Amino acid sequence: MLRILEAVPAATGLGIDLNEEDTARGRENAEARAPAERVEFVRGSAAEGGARGPADLVLCLGASHALSDARPPQHTVDALQALRRMVAPGGRVLLGETFWQRSPTSAELAAMWPGARADELHDLAGLVDLAVSAGFRPAWVETAGSEEWEEFESGYHADVEEWLATQRDPPLANETRERVDRHRTSWLRGYREVLGLAYLTLIPVD
Ligand SMILES: C[S@@+](CC[C@H](N)C(=O)[O-])C[C@H]1O[C@@H](n2cnc3c(N)ncnc32)[C@H](O)[C@@H]1O
Name the 3-class secondary structure at 19: coil
> Residue 158: what pLDDT?
97
The pTM of the full predicted model, rounded to 2 decimals, is 0.94
Taking only the tens place, the pLDDT of each residue in 88-140 is: 999 999 999 999 999 999 999 999 999 999 999 999 999 999 999 999 999 99
Which residue type sits at 182?
R
* DSSP code at position 123: B
Give the whole-angstrom CA distance, residue 103 versus residue 91.
34
- Atom number, ligand 1, closest to the C-alpha of residue 19: 25
Taking only the tens place, the pLDDT of each residue in 132-173 is: 999 999 999 999 999 999 999 999 999 999 999 999 888 889
Task: Summarize the confidence of residues 175-185 as an average pLDDT.
Answer: 96
Residues with CB under 6 A from ligand 1: 16-19, 22, 45-46, 61-63, 65-66
- Atom number, ligand 1, closest to the C-alpha of residue 48: 20
**End-to-end alpha-carbon separation of the chain, Å?**
26
Taking only the tens place, the pLDDT of each residue in 28-74 is: 999 999 888 999 999 999 877 778 889 999 999 999 999 999 999 99
Separation of CA 195 and ligand 1 centre (Å): 19
Separation of CA 66 and ligand 1 centre (Å): 6
Separation of CA 170 and ligand 1 centre (Å): 31
> Residue 74: what pLDDT?
95
Query: Residue whose CA is closest, atom 16 of ligand 1?
Result: 66
Distances (CA, A) of 3 to 59, 105, 186: 12, 38, 31
Query: Residue whose CA is closest, atom 17 of ligand 1?
Result: 66
Give the whole-angstrom CA distance, residue 43 versus residue 24.
9
Separation of CA 169 and ligand 1 centre (Å): 31
